[in-house]
Amino acid sequence: MSTIAKAMHLLNTLADMRTEPGLTDMATASGMDKATTRRMLVELARFGFVEQDAFTRRYRLGSAPVRLARIREQRYPFASIVAPFARELVATTGETVHVSEPAGDRLATVHVEMSDYTHRVIIDPGQLLPLHATASGLAYLSTLGPAELEATFATPLTAFTAATATSTDQLRERLNEGRRLGYCISEGGYEAGVMSAAAAILDAKGRARGTIAVAGPAMRVDRAKLEEFGAHAAEIARSIERALWGTQKTGQDRHGRTEWMTAERSKTRAISQS
């Protein structure tokens, strides 16, 4: 692992921790030795990505990520534009809605609208989601071309629950279903008892800019509900695309999908009908 990769891993580890950790806690959580962890933390603190409390000696995120996030949102106002659409979707479905953006080999949650139900799915802002195990991740993967998908298939896939797709055949089947429907579904693939449906938000060139998902508990959400939620999510995703980019560009069908995705959907239909 390169020095930059180690530093980013440490920063993500700190972001995932619920309380302010000490050096030993950070080393244990990151899987690095204490000397390396300390050296990385010193460098991250020097650039404002990490802060250390002068009295407790514990660490927390610094102001640099916030500053960069504000600059990015000012130049590319994705989160602020999707917020009212997310509120519309939670009002329609009654369940938690979250919007994510690509973040390396995962998705990062950029906006959350919580359900009013007492028993509900909790999604934290900034939470990282695996691509193969969540409806959001599957929706994102369903937009990728063959070469990009092969890179995903080449990496061992973690089984978070018994319902996680961990084989290439399982993943292809779920992605083909997503292309056919216009949205993807996860029935407890990342966390047992959590049901979710998501649609990709495409840019003017047909590349996935993010995803919007609805998530609810299995005690209240069955497969039929998921399909209903998926259709709503797909409709909202198209509205977000129009708000962000205006009318769809040449090379996309009326659903905002690229020519390659349209061809894949046609191929899937032909196979299912044969």
Instruction: Determine the angle formed by the axes of helices 146-153 and 168-181, rounding to 10 degrees.
Output: 140
* 257: Cβ contacts below 8 Å, ≥ 6 apart: 143, 179, 182, 202, 206, 265
Question: Of 39, 61, 58, 40, nearest to 49 (Cα)?
Answer: 61
Output the six-digit token pair for 16: 């995932």
What single letter denotes the amino acid at residue 225?
K
Question: Of 121, 125, 130, nearest to 111 (Cα)?
Answer: 125
pLDDT digits (tens, 9 = 90+) for 231-270: 999 999 999 999 988 754 433 443 444 443 444 444 434 4
pTM over 0.75: no
260: helix, coil or strand? helix
Name the residue ranges covered by the structural domains of the chain: 3-66, 77-265
The domain made up of 3-66 has a fold known as: Arc Repressor Mutant, subunit A (1.10.10)
Domain 77-265 has CATH 3.40.50.11610: no
Average pLDDT along the chain, 274 residues, taken 10 residues at a time:
87 88 94 93 92 92 83 76 95 97 90 96 92 96 90 89 94 94 96 97 90 97 96 96 70 40 43 40
Q: Is the dihedral of CA 27, 33, 35, 36 positive or negative?
A: negative
Can you give the pLDDT at residue 247?
52
Displacement of CA 181 from its chain's centroid (Å): 19
How far is the C-alpha of 65 from the C-alpha of 50, rounded, in Å?
Answer: 9
The residue to which tokens 């508990």 are assigned: 217
The residue to which tokens 């905002």 are assigned: 256
Beta bridge pairs of residue 51:
60
How far is the C-alpha of 190 from the C-alpha of 34, rounded, in Å?
Answer: 31
